[in-house]
Structure 1
Amino acid sequence: MTIEQHELYEKRTKEMETIANIIEALPINEQWIKLFTAMAYYRGWRKLPEHKQEKLINIAEQNSPSVATIVEQRHTKLSLDKIERIATVVTDEADRAKIRDYLLNLSWENAKKSINLIIASYEDQAA
């Protein structure tokens, strides 16, 4: 490993440690902390600005732990924006249950299409 590579590795390690410390300090359940830390690592987050921290808290407060488990185990492609929209836009528990079923039982592409349709129906009602 060259000196430049080692310095870059040290920098990235410190960035990840900083993000992990910020996530651990958020007032959220341990399961969400674990999920968000894994997302930060696997998605290569470099920073965790205030607005993103608020988004994480909002997601954790609005969703059940079962959603965290499903996302963690099955669908790492589900974006924070999509998780937040599910948490804030979809208000009916029956529709949230459908979304959980889609995530568990469908391929990512089919689950994404079905989830987008549910979210769109709520956004159409609001318009």
Structure 2
Amino acid sequence: MSGLDTCYLPGEHRWLGRLAPDLALSTADGDTTLAKLLHPGRPVLLDLTPDRAFSRWLSAVTVVFAACPAHPDIGALLLRPDGHIAWLSTTFVDDAGLADALHRWVTPPSLDPLPIPVSSAWEQAQ
């Protein structure tokens, strides 16, 4: 039994919400694959635009600038650490929905401690 066919929040594109295919990519550091980019276990925004249109997101998430000749129709992908596609753009400038996807799938939960109840079952038993 596996979860390879799991789809989180499907969208307009057939890849959205699904496990990303292991794309062959060309970066400034040389050829690589999507699987290698995800190896550190961190979310990745894969910017496939020729002019780095999604670079303004560098402060929010790791952005990798690459080319993917096999899929020239894809502008950018937000990948969760588990390899699922949380957001996808088929344009080369539109980042609509990216902030929401980052908040939903990437932002860590609050580090504030949970409030301690004033009375507990143990205190009531005393």
The answer to whether the superposition gives a TM-score over 0.5 is no
Q: Could you say which structure has the higher helix fraction?
A: 1
Larger radius of gyration: 2
Q: Under a length normalisation based on structure 2, what TM-score does the superposition of the two structures give? A: 0.26
Q: Under a length normalisation based on structure 1, what TM-score does the superposition of the two structures give? A: 0.26
